[in-house]
Amino acid sequence: MIHSSPTGLPGYIRIKFWSNFIPLLLISEVLAAVSSLLLKSSILLLSVAVVDTFFLTMVIAAMSLYFGIIYVNFSAESFTRMPSGFGGMVFMIASMIFAGAILLLQSHAFWLYFRDGVGWGLSVAAISWKHYVYLATMIGLSGTICLKSTGAFLSAATARISYLEEGPQVDQS
């Protein structure tokens, strides 16, 4: 079925990624924004939640595509059994570890933000500009890691599906 696609394997992987990423992004961004507004978070925390949600959703969509190719299960009786299989569990654990690592990377910058009192309702002027630069650097580093990881998962998925479609190459010499 994949061979009948006019886009080829890399195009097929990209289409599959975007068709999963966009609905996940819409749902997750609405949840992140509404929950931040309901909690009456500052505009900075709301912005960081929206940015982090964007990058993490991108990586998780790419991870799901990759793990779906690695741990394919054609013998499952129904789609509801797939997430509870071995590949589904590995994907869920890997995505939780990745999200935790990204949030841990930003945790020190947020600790400084709250330590200086801005998170407790004090004036924004009370925090040093260095803290904002540090926070922006950590968020930028997190975004870069997420973008690189997304590319790595998509290229690994393309390589794996190419290998499965072509089969192992045996040297005839």
The Cα 104–Cα 95 span in angstroms is 14
pLDDT of residue 3: 57
Q: Is residue 40 within 8 Å of 61, Cβ to Cβ? A: no
How far, in Å, are 6, 21, 47, 146 from residue 12 at the CA level?
Answer: 9, 14, 33, 22
Residues 56-71 have pLDDT tens digits of 999 999 999 999 888 8
Residues 109-125 have pLDDT tens digits of 888 777 766 555 545 55
Number of other CB atoms surrounding residue 111 within 10 Å: 11
Q: Which of helix, strand or coil describes residue 121?
A: coil
**Domain extents for the chain?**
2-154
pLDDT-derived band at 141 (thresholds 50, 70, 90) equals very high
Sign, Cα dihedral of 167, 10, 99, 36: negative
Q: What is the pTM of this model?
A: 0.81
The number of residues in the chain equals 173
pLDDT of residue 121: 53
Of the candidates 105, 38, 46, 96, the residue with the CA atom closest to the CA atom of residue 67: 96
Query: What is the radius of gyration, based on Cα positions, of the chain?
Result: 20
